[in-house]
Amino acid sequence: MNAKALIPVLLCAAALGHAGAAHASESHVGEPPPPGLTSAELLPVQTAPDGSRMTALRLVLEPGWKTYWRSPGDSGVPPEFDWSGSANLAGAQPLWPRPEVIDSGGERTLGYHDELLLPIRLTPQAAGEPVALDVRLNFGLCEDVCVPARVRLAAAPEGDGFDPRIAEALARVPAAGEGALTCHVTDIADGVQVAATIPEAGAGAAAAMELMQDGIWVSQAELTEQGGQVTAVADFVAPSGKPFPLDTDKLRVTLISAGGAVEYRGCAETVSG
């Protein structure tokens, strides 16, 4: 991949940053939402059937607008969560439902139209004690162009029962794939390219590749199928703009289709060069 391949994501990120500084003040609880967003809320903290504590982020979008998945592709902007204002919270893990494959202007991204209901598993610092949630969320909203959105939300007091909307969203979280990936890692001018062969033929219409490591940009994965095997290929670029040692144990590959999604982690075999 060369520098031109980075232009879409850099332009989008730059537009969000500059527009955010000039036009998009942070929307707090009870204030009007930013353009493209009808409403935003955190559902009350509640106890799931497995005993875990949960909430969910609910974003309702205006018609024709979209927001992005955790790994949106070449030109998308993934959301960022800041939970530092919360009390009795050791961790908050978003559990992303299967995204839509969105084609726009010749580019393919992964995200959501209309509504996003994002379950979030909470780890309290003190088990059994109330959790007070306060989150700042930075994310992108796009119609024809992207605009920045910044909201600050708090969850209502802990409620009884378990919201069926969260259960429905959890049912759409990618399932764990059977088998393991075989990966081929090759240095390129500004990073590395990974080709991951997946042990299920015809398992997806699109793929996302991620590295569970901060600061690494990943291109939209391309899928090929040959001889009953599916291979996903993407470029991974570090801030240095040079080849780097990629830890394949931190690789995550998600196959996405209309009927569901399957996620694989790590590589059983890695070939370099």
Q: What is the pLDDT of residue 159?
A: 77
Cβ-contact 150, 142 below 8 angstroms = no
Give whichever of 122-126, 140-144, 215-219, 258-262 has the largest mean pLDDT.
Answer: 122-126
> Which pair of tokens denotes residue 48?
């799931």
Render pLDDT for 47-77 as a digit per residue (tens, 0 to 9): 999 999 999 999 999 999 999 999 887 777 7
Q: What is the distance between the alpha carbons of residues 174 and 176, in angstroms, rounded to a whole number?
A: 7
Is residue 81 very low, low, confident or very high in pLDDT (cuts 50, 70, 90)?
A: very high
Task: Note the helical H segments in 115-229.
Answer: 164-170
Give pLDDT, residue 35: 85
**Inter-residue contact 203 to 230 (CB < 8 Å):** yes
Residue 203's pLDDT is: 56
CA 3 – CA 27 distance, rounded (Å): 35
Q: What's the mean pLDDT in 120-124?
A: 97
For the chain, percent of residues with pLDDT exceeding 70: 86
Determine the pLDDT at residue 22.
Answer: 31
Residue where the block lists tokens 């994310």: 139
Per-residue CA distances from 264 to 124, 178, 209, 254 (Å): 28, 8, 10, 6
Residue type, 18: H
pLDDT at 202 over 80: no
* Domain residue ranges in the chain: 3-170, 175-272
Closest residue by Cα to residue 170 from 38, 81, 52: 52
**Architecture of the domain made up of 175-272:** Sandwich (2.60)
For 224-249, what is each residue's pLDDT tens digit?
888 778 899 999 999 999 999 999 99
What is the CA 271 to chain-centroid distance, rounded? Answer: 28
What would the pLDDT profile of 243-267 be if each residue is shown by its tens digit? 999 999 999 999 998 788 999 999 9
- pLDDT of 34 > 80? The answer is yes
Provide the pLDDT confidence category of residue 146 given band limits of 50, 70 and 90: confident
Residue 186 · residue 231 · CB < 8 Å: no
Domain 3-170 has CATH 2.60.40.1250: yes
Q: Are 234 and 220 in contact (CB under 8 A)?
A: yes
Which two tokens mark 165? 């909307």
- CA–CA separation, 207 and 39 (whole Å): 30
% of the chain surpassing 90 pLDDT: 58
Among 124, 141, 126, which Cα is nearest to 45's? 124
Type of residue at 149: A
Q: 172: Cβ–Cβ under 8 A, 6 or more apart, which residues? A: 97, 98, 260, 261
